[in-house]
A and B are shown apart, each in its own frame.
Chain A
Amino acid sequence: MHDAPADAHVPDNKDVWLVIPVYNEAQVIADVVEHARQTFPNIVCVDDGSRDGSAAAIAPTGAHLVQHPINMGQGAALETGLRYALNRPGAEYFVTFDADGQHRVEDALRMLEVARSGQADVVLGSRFLESRETVPWLKRFVLKTVVALSPTARKLKLTDAHNGLRVLNRPAAEGLRIRMNGMAHASEIVGKLARSNWRVAEIPVTILYTDYSRAKGQSLVNGVNILFELSLRHRGV
């Protein structure tokens, strides 16, 4: 992971907040934060009740730290991080970023450029727009299936409903209220976008499937849980 010099033509990104939900990522979180902070000065890590000392790993870094008193799920952590960032003075753009180091800062910067240009209120990362990198085939199949089963993702013509890398401008971040605490929040976000008036753009990104993220990442079994959570949500309750 080597950045191009990020400060060449880009603004200093003081109006950007990186929101990183953290759950049991003590091994890597400090490196991920320090690396991202070379480009983005404002980072908030939401420790979602980790039991491996993730909070202690974040403490010496320059990131803001919000600690859930209990584990509530990635969706809840994202929502908390967004609320925290929205309260910071001068915050205009919000980037959701994964804690396990599978997202690239360069991709976030390119997505940010699109958001800054005013072409879109929400910019989503997609693994599938260009098939230049190697998504494991089984994962590719499952993620494609989730997209195919999601009417909202089809409506927005999205290719990747479950990418954790997103850029939102302030109105979109304020309007978005994530209510699915678990992993179904990704589909929930896409659904809200489809029902909103925000302009949504999708940008190809590269996911770094390291051994660490592969071991940690959403297991395929989780796909079953996501479908279950979502199907119950549609029962109107």
Chain B
Amino acid sequence: MVIQFLLLLAVAASLFYFVRQQHGVRLQAGKRLAFVAFLLFAAYAVVRPDDITAIAHWVGVGRGADLVLYATVVAFVFVVINFYLRTREMERRITDLARAVALRDAEILNQHRLPHPPAAGEGADTALLAAVVAEGKS
């Protein structure tokens, strides 16, 4: 049946998308086009339910509503993966940011707190500056 082929294709595409390391401009555009296509499909299904039923019969699904449901499940999976990836990326950035803040504050705090400051001596300020700059680069 055609629908089985289509659904398997969707699963394979999600897997490929999930495993793929880089998300370039082209993929971004593809995602947006897919989103627009999904919206158009949904609108069409509302306006002409009989046509959707005809398509459903053609791909081997009983009712048009079932076909819409399948499409929604596929879209949902994509959205979840997308959010997951985005959340991870955001978490990574927050970690870098919070670490940079923590290290910068610590340099100042510990120089005041401890009897033997971490970068004591003549070049204390230079060393502090170098450390902060180095952390910013990494």
Q: Which residues of A contact B (CB under 8 A)?
A: 46, 59, 62, 64-70, 72, 76, 79-80, 83-84, 87-89, 179, 181, 235-237
Chain B interface, DSSP helix/strand/loop, else mixed:
helix
Would you list the 7 A-B pairs with minimal beta carbon distance, nearest first?
A66-B106, A87-B131, A64-B110, A236-B19, A80-B99, A68-B102, A66-B102
Q: Please, what's the 1-or-0 string for B82-103, where 1 marks a CB less than 8 Å from any CB in chain A? A: 0001001001101100110111
Q: In the bound complex, what is the Cα–Cα distance between A65 and B109 (angstroms)?
A: 8
Of A59, A68, A84, A237, the contact of B18 (CB 8 Å cutoff): A237
Q: Is the CB of A67 within 8 A of B105?
A: yes
Query: A-B contact count, CB below 8 Å?
Result: 66
Of A84, A89, A181, the contact of B103 (CB 8 Å cutoff): A84
Q: Is the CB of A65 within 8 A of B98?
A: no
Among B28-36, B48-56, B112-120, the one that faces the other chain is: B112-120
Q: How many residues of B contact A (CB 8 A)?
A: 29
Contacts known (A89-B119, A235-B18, A237-B88); A68 close to B98, Cβ less than 8 A: yes
Residues in B with CB closer than 8 Å to A236 are 19-21
Of A62, A70, A84, A179, the contact of B106 (CB 8 Å cutoff): A84
Contacts known (A62-B114, A64-B114, A87-B131); A69 close to B102, Cβ less than 8 A: yes
Contacts known (A66-B106, A236-B21); A88 close to B118, Cβ less than 8 A: yes
B72 to chain A, nearest CB (A): 24
Q: In the bound complex, what is the Cα–Cα distance between A59 and B112 (angstroms)?
A: 11
Residues in A with CB closer than 8 Å to B110 are 64-65
